[in-house]
Structure 1
Amino acid sequence: MGLGGTAKKIQTLAEKAEQTYQRLNDLREEVEKTQETVTETGDRVRQLETEMAEQRAVLDAVAEEVGVDLEAVSTDAHITEAESDDEADDAGDDGSADTDGDDEAVDDDS
């Protein structure tokens, strides 16, 4: 009976070792796929950045050709964006999150 119990324990241990080995292989494959994805994504980002720089150069040349002041356009765009953000903040600040009715205490923390 001692040998049968030992054989069963060895078999159980071997099965667990095999399962662990399989999990490690699966994990290794996942890590390799993730590394490939990260590398491919990095390559795509670099390509998009290059394309954006090329498009920006073309837009700058066209704007200069037709006499558009790029600094003024950029400034206007930033002002418009800031105003939109302020309006969105004002619209979202309806006091519903302020349970004690003290609006100033909430504004001072932000």
Structure 2
Amino acid sequence: MGLGSTAKKIQLVSDRAEQMYKQVQELQGRIVNLEEEVDDTHDTVKKMDHQLTEQRALLLALAEERGLDGEEILAEVAIDDLDDADDAAETAEETTDESSAPSGE
């Protein structure tokens, strides 16, 4: 093996290392941006959660002012939502069962 061949191999290794370094730098920048986006999303969710809590309190107060039991209404809605979710799950299960059944040909 001559010096020319060794120099060529060293140059190839050096080029690869430089490419990998650039990729790592790019990846690091993407991770930093992602962390910032996650932080922003977290702040937004916290604000929305706080606003939702305020709105719920306001709606319950309005319901009480009109002689309605807000908690009972919310419980009924939650039950209806569960029933709808159960119906959707059953429909999805039936569709899956029908599509996996033998065709009988």
Provide the aligned C-alpha RMSD in A: 2.3
- How many Å separate the matches in 1 of 2:4 and 2:100? 71
- State the 1:68 CA deviation: 1.1
Q: Which runs of 4+ in 1 moved over 2 A?
A: 78-95, 97-100
- Provide the residue aligned with 1:25 in structure 2: 25
Which AA in structure 1 matches 2:46? Answer: R
Tell me: CA distance 1:89–1:28, structure 2 relative to 1, closer, same or farther (3 Å). closer
- Provide the residue aligned with 2:98 in structure 1: 96
Which AA in structure 1 matches 2:66? Answer: V
**TM-score, L = length of structure 1:** 0.75
- Unmatched tracts of structure 1, length 5 or more: 101-110
Tell me: CA distance 1:78–1:29, structure 2 relative to 1, closer, same or farther (3 Å). same
What is the aligned-residue identity percentage?
35
Tell me: CA distance 1:5–1:90, structure 2 relative to 1, closer, same or farther (3 Å). closer
Give matches, 1:59-78, under 5 Å.
Answer: 59-78=59-78
**TM-score, L = length of structure 2:** 0.78
- How many Å separate the matches in 1 of 2:20 and 2:14? 10
CA offsets 1:61-84 (integer angstroms, 9 cap, x no match):
111111111132123213333443
Tell me: CA distance 1:51–1:4, structure 2 relative to 1, closer, same or farther (3 Å). same
- Provide the residue aligned with 2:58 in structure 1: 58
Matched positions, count: 100
- State the 1:7 CA deviation: 1.3
- How many Å separate the matches in 2 of 1:87 and 1:16? 57
Higher relative contact order by CA 8 Å / sep ≥ 6: 1 or 2? 2
Which AA in structure 2 matches 1:31? Answer: I
